Each structure stands twice: as C-alpha cells, then as structure tokens.
Amino acid sequence: MNVRPAEIPRFANIGQAIETLKPAEPTYVLHPSKFAEAAKRFLDHFPGDTLYAIKANPHVNVLDQVWASGIRHFDTASLPEIELVKGRFPEAICHFMAPVRAPGTAKIAFEKYGVTDYVVDCDYELDKLLAETKNSRKLRIFVRIATPLGGALLELSSKFGCTPDEAAKLLKRVKDSGAQPCITFHVGSQCLSPFSYAQAVEMARRTAEKAGVEIAALDVGGGFPGPYNNNDVPPYHWYFDSIKEALATMPRPVPVICEPGRALIAEGLSLITQVILRKGDSLYLNDGVYGSFDELTLPGWNADYFHRVYALDAKGKVSEKPQGQKAFRVYGPTCDSLDVLPRPLALPDNIGPGDYIVFESIGAYSVAVRTNFNGFFPDSWAIAGN
C-alpha cells in the first residue's frame, strides 16, 4: 500500500491539481504508482538486496513512498542521513557507503545504529574505521575500485575508487583485521550501457583474485538510468541479466547488493512550474537552476537529455488556441544570467504569464540540491494518481 500523508493534497491528475491549487509556487507532484513500479523492478529482478541511495532525494515525502514500495535497505552517505532514515523507519537497515566519513561518525553509526557495512578506498579511512569500530569482526568493509566511464553520463570514479593493485592491498588488510572483505564500485550515474556493470564485476573478480581473498559480498553501486527525452534507456532486465552473467564467472557464489538512487525515484516526481513573465521568445519561470534544475547544468549532462515537458493553461487544460509550437529560451526567477535552462524548449506559441509548464521524471538530484538563492525555495507538494 502506498503512503498518502493526509497533509499532502491529492488529485486524480496534474491538470486537476493545477485547476484546484492554482499553484503560484513550484509544486512537486508525487506519483505513488511510479515509485511502486520502480521499486518492484529491483525487488523482483535484482539478484540481491536493493539499497535506496537517499542522496538522490532525501525528502521525507519521497522516503515515505520508497518505504511504502517495499525498500528496506538504505545507502546513507553521512550520519545525518542515517539519523533521518532511522528516525523515520526504525526497522530500516542503513549501509554507510561513502568512502570518506567525518571523524567519529562511523563510531556512532556502528554503536548507536548498528550499521555494519562501510566503504574505504585508502589506508587512512580504513585505519580510522577500524579504530572507531574497535576492529569489530561484524563489519563488512567494501573496498571501492575505480571503473572505466563506459556508458554513464556522470562519472563517479575520479574522486573515489582505487586501482586493482591498491584495492588488493586494502582487501588483504581488511581480511587480516578480521572484518569481512568486500568490493564495491559505481559505474557512473545515468549509465546507458548494461555492459558497464559486467565489465566492473569482471574487474572486481580480478581484483579479489589478485588479493588472494574470497570476497564476502559485492556491491554493484548505483547508476541505473531514469527516462529522459532523447535518451534510449535499455530495458532494465538487460542490466540485471548482464550483472547475473558476470556474477556467474565468480569462483563461488557471492552475495550482491546494489544502491540505486535515480532509478528508484526519478519517475515518481513531476514538477509544476508557472510562467511569471514573457518577453518575446523568452519565458521566466518561478523555478530554475538554483532550484530544481541544477543537474541539467552539470558538465557531462547532455542538454538534449531533457525532462519530458508540456504546457497547461491556468485552468490546468491543454491550451486551445496556439497556432503551433515555438522554441523559447527559459529562465529561472533569480537575478543570475546563468539561471537559464541549457536548451530552448518547444512550447505553445501563445504561452504567457499564468500558464504552467510541467516537467516529468524530476525526482532525482532536484529536491536534494535546491537552494534558496534570492529567496526562492521550491517546497510545495501534491499527490496525483494512485
């Protein structure tokens, strides 16, 4: 059953939400059935535990949907994330999968919250972790290896992740400490190539072989893609099949986990924005890159991979009188010239102030990174559909 907190207004669809609320603030719309579908894909077909990487969207309205969809494990990157998850869902199982931790946080995570999974990619963090957890044998310590960029839009192996040689030394050290040696990687976010996972699993296999260590678990990370325009996302089972095939080459069966962020929550949120000004071919919206659209400005993100967008009039209906579509430059509301969407949007030529533009599949890295620059902070919520 999906969570529908009473305080969030609920509508049959987005048009009805606009007609009723006439939202003057950007409004995030939760689609419970989309959260459920996304979780089911993993829970039914991924060959191990699925951890939701809450950094992708830590808002409690989203966490409630993810929990209601059956996810019980969480990839938490900091003590505040652990506190958030355990405070809301005491039975949740947290995994501390960031390769760098603020001093003292592993101690609290272990002693107070019973967290036993940690990641390291260097001796310093391993020493600190072992000291803070008093060399507990309960720990599963995942050594993070860097993987080739492959098919991902946003790479995640230049800041963290070590070479197979470095990883082999760390794995031996973990084994000698009495903790359980494991391997993790992140193939990069919005990964469009299922083969990247197979390649990374193979790297993990060779790394364990080099170390002469039997690994207790393998974490294949996040990176599973969300659906955006002009973005041919391969079927999900290709990812799972690719991972399973690669796992079959391990010398013995290894428990596997994954930590998707985007894939569990991107489709579950749409965003209603309002046009507040039109100047010729330029539109000014009540949300921009300092609000929900930060990710579109990241180096590596292809501007053509854009959210699906459509316009509705002030009554929440499709406008009846456009002569056609026109390309508009779309600005956010702040004073900064950089606050502009990275590509023009095709919208009805008669669009103007008071009309709405809806952005679909905006759940990932939007709410999580919004700022209140210039006093704009999107935080209105609604639910549409079941």
Ligand X SMILES: Cc1ncc(COP(=O)(O)O)c(C=O)c1O
Interface residue list for ligand X (CB under 6 A): 53, 55-56, 75, 97, 156, 186, 189, 221-224, 259-263, 364
Q: How do 93-96 and 73-76 pair as beta strands? A: parallel
Q: Toward ligand X, which CB reaches closer, 222 or 348?
A: 222
Residue whose CB is less far from ligand X, 61 or 76: 76
347 close to 323: Cβ distance less than 8 angstroms: no
Contact 383, 269 (CB under 8 A): no
In the complex, the smallest distance separating the C-beta of residue 1 from ligand X, rounded to whole angstroms, is 26
**Which residue, 305 or 328, is less far from ligand X as judged by CB?**
305
291 vs 363, which CB is nearer to ligand X? Answer: 363
State which residue has the least CB distance to ligand X. Answer: 222
What is the CA angle 301-78-8, rounded to 5? 75
Q: Shortest approach of ligand X to residue 310 CB, angstroms?
A: 25
* Helix or strand run (H / E) with residue 237: helix 236-247
In the complex, minimum distance from the CB of residue 190 to ligand X, in angstroms, rounded to a whole number: 6
Q: Supply the minimum distance, in Å, between the C-beta of residue 376 and ligand X.
A: 25
CA dist., res. 239 & res. 217, Å (int):
19
DSSP string computed for 285-344: ES--TTTTTGGGGSTT--TTS---EEEE-TTSS--S--SSEEEEEEE-SSS-TT-B-SS-
Contact 235, 193 (CB under 8 A): no
Minimum CB separation of residue 53 from ligand X in Å reads 4
Residue (28 or 356) nearer to ligand X, CB: 28
